[in-house]
Structure 1
Amino acid sequence: MGEFHDEILRTIIILGIFALLGFIIKRIIRRYARASHLSEHRTNLIAKYINFFMLTLLAVLIFAIWGIKSNDILTFLGGTLTVIGVAFFAQWSILSNITSGIILFFSFPFRIGDFIKVHDKDFPVEAQIEDIKAFHTILRTTEGELITYPNSLLLQKAVSIVPLKQEEKEFYD
């Protein structure tokens, strides 16, 4: 135990820093989501993505602290990423939709409740946004039909936010 004193101390310090950093980042995300009136589901999804990134970075730092050879790590990561890359190559649309979901979260050109028009030559859509999920957006047409629309297509196609027509009301003095 005495010979690993420095490694144990560094590991505890890194774990403490990452715990504090994770807490701070979650608070920032929640404040941003509240200020932007974003749904809890979207907020949790982005928090999961950031947690995954932080855990990966933490693992790399701990490997470095404990002196695991970078060649061994790179060989393992290279083989793992090759297998994952081949598996996802066939399913590139999944990654595209996840990335689009993140972009929609942060740029939010439209929000839940907006009535939009997707300008698609083959399949034009006019509907209200009911929910924006990781892979797709749920739309409801004026006829009540539910449409599941991929997030990547919402970024590729032209989308207009259609203002809702105000019903004419009579005003009395």
Structure 2
Amino acid sequence: MTIDIAEEFTAFLPLIISTFCVGVGLWMAHHIIIVRFSENGNEKLFSRQLIMLGLTLVSVLIIILSLPISESSRNQVIALVGLVISGIFAFSSSTIFANLLAGIMLRITKPFRTGDFVKVQDNFGRVVERGLLDTEIQTEGRDLVSIPNTYLITHPVTVTRTSGTIVSTTLSLGYDLSNSDVEKALLEAATNCGLVDAFVQIIELGDFSVTYKISGKLEEIKNLISARSALNKQVLDVLHSQKIEIMSPTFVNQRRLAEDFKVIPAKKVVKTESHAIAVEDVAFDKAEEAEKNEQYRLEITSQIEQMKESLREADEDQKVSIKSKIDALETRLKQTKSEVKEG
């Protein structure tokens, strides 16, 4: 009886040893490949996660080869595992696998980065994070929307340029107004709200009114939402201050009005409060934080790389000082990672 137990244990000994070694190896690989570089953000871990996936598949193969079974049975198990993996890829090709390949494509083409304003169909917001299978954006309503990567490569993606974008609004005015006066007033409105290189277009000559479009370049794109609202506000204020009536010529009212009566609200002095909150500070808080964290990590990583280069040519006294600085920077990186997780 004891001999039989010993023989059984001897037969399973290679499986036990290989399982233990594979487990320890995967654990060490996870800490070396993933954990040590996790402060660089999920986007930087994409290639390393693929490496871990490959190592896991190799580990499964090693365990199968160490099973105490005949060679023909082992080949059948390997064929079965291969068939299962192939089936998984085949059935998920339109979802998981397709999104994975789409994520690789997005990293190669780099159409946008963290913090950019993007619009895909009806979804508009700032990019928070680019994952393996989807991309997360934060909308104007402060909500987080996860868009599959396949959706991003099969639909046009509009990316707001960081160097500036055009902000515009349209309105209809009557034919009784001189277009030169209207153009002057609209350009003044665009200037008042901080737009540069403003221009006015006549979009349509309708049956009863003329459609104007005022546009200008916004250099600080982080204030995009506020700038659109500010432009509309300035258009109202400037036209009203110049006694230009914003109303359709087909307007009908049952009240009797004098011929020189203008439908313009009375001018009020509005005191601007210093504690006013910008829309973008509330709506895109997570996207703003993600962008700042990524830039901060990249700056610290660049400093660490430069110090490691100078460490090779430094003398012994300088090496101690440089190493302490590197340790301090690496600690700051880890602190940034923990703050992001807590947030």
TM class by shorter chain equals 0.5 to 0.7
Shift of 1:115: 1.7
Cα contact 2:34–2:49 (8 A) shared by 1: no
CA RMSD in angstroms, aligned pairs only: 4.2
Q: Tell me the matched-pair count.
A: 154
Query: TM-score, normalized by length of structure 1?
Result: 0.57
Structure 1 gaps, min length 5: 168-173
Cα contact 2:137–2:146 (8 A) shared by 1: yes
Shift of 1:45: 8.2
Shift of 1:61: 0.5
Match of 1:150 in 2: 148
Shift of 1:142: 5.8
1:17-166 maps to which residues of 2 (within 5 A)? 17-30=25-38, 33-34=39-40, 38=41, 51-68=52-69, 69=71, 70-81=74-85, 83-84=87-88, 87-88=91-92, 92-101=94-103, 104=106, 109-116=111-118, 123=121, 127-140=125-138, 149-156=147-154, 157=156, 160-163=159-162, 164=164, 165-166=219-220
Shift of 1:72: 1.4
With over 3 angstroms needed to count, the CA separation of the structure-2 counterparts of 1:148 and 1:22, relative to structure 1, is closer
Give the letter for the 1:110 counterpart. F
Cα contact 2:134–2:147 (8 A) shared by 1: yes
- SS of 1:152's partner is helix
Please give the alpha-carbon distance, in whole angstroms, between the structure 2 residues aligned to 1:13 and 1:147: 41
Cα contact 1:113–1:130 (8 A) shared by 2: yes
Return the index of the structure with the highest Cα Rg.
Answer: 2
With over 3 angstroms needed to count, the CA separation of the structure-2 counterparts of 1:6 and 1:144, relative to structure 1, is closer
Identity %: 19
Match of 1:170 in 2: none
With over 3 angstroms needed to count, the CA separation of the structure-2 counterparts of 1:22 and 1:160, relative to structure 1, is same
Match of 2:199 in 1: none
Please give the alpha-carbon distance, in whole angstroms, between the structure 2 residues aligned to 1:10 and 1:93: 34
With over 3 angstroms needed to count, the CA separation of the structure-2 counterparts of 1:100 and 1:28, relative to structure 1, is farther
